[in-house]
Structure 1
């Protein structure tokens, strides 16, 4: 399973991307509960996610076949756990930012 978190916007309008590849069964068993905890079915239509707050981050989250685009203020609870865990795992891997087999 490939998990990608892309954060865009902010004052500088920079985009950051963090990616984790869960390839082994151990990795998948670590990441699956984190991904499953997120309310994927409750994500608003991506055309309706603008929250009217300039200079805020937007998050594009992909986990396997699932997709979500959320404004910064909506990245709470299980979404925050997924974003922060992915970011931490990817940042532990130097150069390309893609973590393979990293558990946090």
Structure 2
């Protein structure tokens, strides 16, 4: 299973991407519960605030999260609970797997 988190936006408008490949049985056992805990079917239009009005926070980050066949795009304010756990776990694992443990790639 491939898990990718793409964070875009913010004041500098940089996009960062973190990717993890869960190939072995033990890796899949670690990542599957994190993926399953996320409410994939409950994701609303990320451009709308809960009251249905346009989200008035243009300098916030947007997160595009992919895990296998599942996809979700969330504003920074919605990346809480299981979403936060999945995002942070992916980011940490991707950064640890890079030579020198450095930051993941980014683009402008």
Fold-level similarity (TM above 0.5): yes
Shift of 1:48: 4.3
Distance in 1 between the 2:58 and 2:43 partners?
Answer: 21
Q: What secondary structure does 2:82 align onto?
A: helix
Match of 2:42 in 1: 42
Report which of the two structures shows the higher radius of gyration computed on alpha carbons.
2
TM-score, structure 2 normalization? 0.83
Give the paired residue count. 98
Distance in 1 between the 2:26 and 2:98 partners?
Answer: 22
Match of 1:3 in 2: 3
TM-score, structure 1 normalization? 0.86
Q: What secondary structure does 1:92 align onto?
A: helix
- The gaps in structure 2 that reach 5 residues or longer are none
Matched, 1:30 2:30: yes
Aligned-residue CA RMSD in angstroms?
2.0
Distance in 1 between the 2:64 and 2:45 partners?
Answer: 12
Distance in 2 between the 1:46 and 1:58 partners?
Answer: 8
Distance in 1 between the 2:69 and 2:48 partners?
Answer: 21
Match of 2:79 in 1: 75
